[in-house]
Amino acid sequence: MRFSKLMLSTRKESGAKVDILSQELLVRAGFIRQLSSGIFSSLHLGFRSLRKIEDILREEMNAIGGVEISMPVVHSADIWKKTNRYNDIDDSLVRFTDRAGRDMVLAMTHEEVVASLAKSEISSYKQLPKLVYQIQTKFRDEARSRGGLIRVREFVMKDSYSLDTSAEGLEKQYDAHYDAYFKMFIRAGLPVIAIQSDTGMMGGKIAHEYMYITEIGEDTIFICENTGYQANKEVASIQKTAIEVEPKDLEEVLTPNMKTIAGLSEFLGVQPENCGKVVFFSAEIGEETKVVIAVVRGDMEVNETKLQNMIKAKTLVTAKEEDIVKIGSVAGYASPIGVDREQAIVVIDDLIEKSNNLVVGANKENYHLKNACYGRDFSADFVGDIINAFDGAISPDATSPDDILKSVRGVEAGNIFQLGTKYTAAFDAEFMDVDGRPKPIVMGSYGIGVGRLLGCLAQEYHDDKGLKLPITVAPYEVMIIGLLDKEEITEKAEKIYSDLKAAKVDVLFDDRGKKVASPGQKFNDADLIGIPIHVTISKRSLKNGGADVKLRGEEGEVVAIEEVAAKVQEKINMLHAEIENKLKAEEWKA
């Protein structure tokens, strides 16, 4: 491709407000242009990088038996109503009516469509397992788009769906995706870790996220370097040790204006872990709205995701003061003791269950109760892990006090879910098993955002001059920088261009004349765009014996014109071999 033919202008500055460096670089290099919030055009260079990422995803999906299909982006709302997601998902799901007044949605994912196809296309165990995938545009009306391609509203995703006869079959396809995803990311050049995650709106029982660790990430991940434990904040747990003491008699004490754990602990001369902390929520559960009394130890914080999952609430928001009063409680002096259990749900962390003699609220202004014990003084509707992990906590799989957790930031680059029968059961998508009985098809769902992956790569691979993209995802493998001030130079540059094309090398030829781009601008653009191999032909290079060939950001060597194609191919092979060696190492299996 000739640079002169591109509808492209590089920039010294991004020219717009940007959130993170990767967005600035992609805008300056002419990869993307913003149309509106969270909606971008991909210009030629960005388009080519995105297509190369798609090719990697497609090849690895095909390698594990995937069959590519295409599903519509506009759906009848009826299929989303079957799974209740039409009402359960917030305004990020775009709902509208067509001219006939029918409810419609813009797809943010395709589980419902696949389940409906499974019902129409599969009837027998003999037709299973199946694995289908697509690479297609989706839309999610993000409330807060940010970071260029990191969090957008319109995006391209590779989403795949497995269909099986059993949980064992699902696990096999899930494991195949687990490995295939690491291969995809290694080939693209993005370092990721796989962590345990919440299933969220997707449902199911097991999920993993592939996290790119970076300070720009919105997700918090807890890791233990000693044990290898890795989990998203939403599901991360810690090793818990209860304070075992003999129960004492319940005692009411005056605690004027002591509405915080810190103030209460100091006033009574006790530690925060000897107190019970109450947090109130309002939850929509089924057709009812209930006040939720969540109780954790005073040195812990409530994890809202765990809490919502435990009680199976559609929504979970902070309770209003009037709701707290209605159940007979007092904010700042609250506990489950004596509240109206008809209107409230009590959920306690499992540490509370094992901890005696806690200081809790008396549900009476300016008073607390000492020596409260679970089972004797109060009960709960749910008991389990509802606390946040935190830096310095003992890892849940620790064998030593040194096995502690630390938090890092990350961007979710991909995810995989074991959905089970949540969607197929809603559509009566069944197969006739070998025993002659109908059974629901077992389903898995797996996704990678193509644009987000490019945004992460731009964040990972750059220097002060611009992008330094891996050869597998760079828009071109080679850039010819022609300083075309003489006929001889032009002729030699054209020969190199012709030789590289004949050798099937992916090459961009900067053929702009001096009146369009100065030599300095050409060199700056070559560095900014981030193509990995540069070939420069100039008066100086010809005087030295040929063209200058180098890797982006490194020292070059002069190569005879007739040997440039071979030297370039040697460097291409070297860069690809580095990636192949990482694949062969299979470090994710260690």
In this predicted model, what pLDDT tens digit does every residue of 107-158 receive, in sequence order? 999 999 999 999 999 999 999 999 999 999 999 999 888 888 999 999 999 9
- Whether 199 shows a pLDDT value over 80: the answer reads no
What confidence tier does 76 reach under pLDDT thresholds 50, 70, 90? very high
**pLDDT tens, 237-269?**
999 988 778 999 999 999 999 999 999 999 999
C-alpha pair distances (Å), 297 with each of 208, 294, 355:
29, 10, 9
394-422: average pLDDT: 95
What confidence tier does 488 reach under pLDDT thresholds 50, 70, 90? confident
**What is the percent of the chain with per-residue pLDDT over 70, rounded to a whole number?**
99
CB 330 within 8 A of CB 323: no
pTM beyond 0.85: the answer is: yes
Q: Residue 200: its pLDDT value, please? A: 66
Of the ranges 179-183, 312-316, 330-334, 368-372, which one carries the lowest mean pLDDT score? 312-316
- Whether 344 shows a pLDDT value over 90: the answer reads yes
Q: Residue 314: its pLDDT value, please? A: 83
CB 198 within 8 A of CB 158: no
d(CA 565, CA 127): 50
User: What is the identity of the amino acid at 513?
Assistant: G
d(CA 498, CA 515): 24
Residues forming a β-bridge with 295: 278, 348
d(CA 552, CA 571): 11
497-512: average pLDDT: 94
463-490: average pLDDT: 91
**pLDDT tens, 267-303?**
999 999 999 999 999 999 888 899 999 999 999 999 9
Q: What's the mean pLDDT when you consider all of the chain?
A: 93
Residue-range domain boundaries for the chain: 16-72+108-235+408-458, 251-384, 476-582
What confidence tier does 206 reach under pLDDT thresholds 50, 70, 90? confident
**How far out from the chain centre does Cα 172 lie?**
23
Q: Which CATH architecture has domain 16-72+108-235+408-458?
A: 2-Layer Sandwich (3.30)
CB 60 within 8 A of CB 183: yes
Of the ranges 110-114, 200-204, 286-290, 500-504, which one carries the lowest mean pLDDT score? 200-204
d(CA 68, CA 58): 8
Q: Residue 202: its pLDDT value, please? A: 56
- Whether 205 shows a pLDDT value over 80: the answer reads no
Closest CA to 259 of 365, 153, 156, 384: 365
The dotted CATH code for 476-582 is 3.40.50.800
Residue ranges in 461-511 assigned as alpha helix (H): 487-502
**pLDDT tens, 227-237?**
999 999 999 99
The dotted CATH code for 251-384 is 3.90.960.10
What confidence tier does 476 reach under pLDDT thresholds 50, 70, 90? very high
Closest CA to 334 of 356, 304, 303, 359: 359
Q: Residue 203: its pLDDT value, please? A: 60
CB 368 within 8 A of CB 258: yes
What confidence tier does 8 reach under pLDDT thresholds 50, 70, 90? confident
Residues forming a β-bridge with 208: 196, 416
520-535: average pLDDT: 94
Q: Residue 244: its pLDDT value, please? A: 78
